[in-house]
Amino acid sequence: MERAKIPPMVPLKEVRERYNGMEEAKIDVGKTRAPAAKMNYKIRALDGIYKDSEFPLDGANVIGRDPVKASIVYPENTVGISRVHCRLVVTEVGLQIEDMGSSQGTFLADGTKLEPQKKYLLQNGECFFLASRREIYKVIIF
């Protein structure tokens, strides 16, 4: 069996002589960016029908009673939840929520009712609820 050849070590003095007088590489910081770390998102039901359940999010995620359009599906007879209630979308800027024209509304934890078809950015730990505080979810970013 042949041994791997190890390159000879170059004395530090020789390295300094080779690179003496060379300009350092110039980088235009405005044009280079480190790639952003990919964030992962999920929501946790704090109460309601899915209490203690977690739902990982990726792309567009609809919550509602329509089993074809929704990725988080409520039973058909769930009071207050529309067929297509709201949509959560993972984007480059973060997690956005949008009420899809639900009859009973989508709300932020402080009681602010979301305007239909308007996107709102959600932060880590922020809560939102559907129709009543019973169907409340918490955003988890990790």
Check residue 38 and give its pLDDT.
Answer: 83
pLDDT at 42 over 70: yes
Reported as a single tens digit per residue, the pLDDT across 64-117 is 999 999 999 999 999 999 999 999 999 999 999 999 999 999 999 999 999 999
Among the ranges given (12-16, 21-25, 94-98, 116-120), the one the predictor scored with the smallest mean pLDDT: 21-25
| Residue 64: inside a domain | yes
- Tell me, yes or no, whether 81 lies in a domain: yes
Residue 40 has pLDDT above 50, yes or no: yes
Q: What is the pLDDT of residue 25?
A: 46
pLDDT recorded at residue 66: 98
pLDDT of residue 4 exceeding 80, the answer is no
C-alpha dihedral, 9 to 13 to 18 to 24, nearest 10° = 100
Domain hosting 132: range is: 41-141
- How, if at all, do strands 119-122 and 86-90 pair? unpaired
- β-pairing, 72-73 with 60-64? parallel
Number of domains within the chain = 1
Could you tell me if residue 117 is inside a domain? yes
Predicted TM-score (pTM) above 0.85: no
Lowest-pLDDT range of 31-35, 57-61, 94-98, 119-123: 31-35
For 37-74, letters b (16+ CB in 10 Å) and e give eeeebbbbbbebebeeeebebeeebbbbbeeeebebbb
More confident site: 32 or 61? 61
Q: What CATH number does the domain containing 90 carry?
A: 2.60.200.20
- Residue 67 covered by a domain: yes
Is 24 among the domain residues? no
Q: What is the per-residue pLDDT for 13?
A: 60
The whole-angstrom separation of Cα 141 and Cα 123 is 8
Q: What is the 3-state secondary structure (H, E, C) of 84-142?
A: CCEEEEECCCCEEEEECCCCCCEEECCCCECCECCEEEECCCCEEEECCCCCEEEEEEC
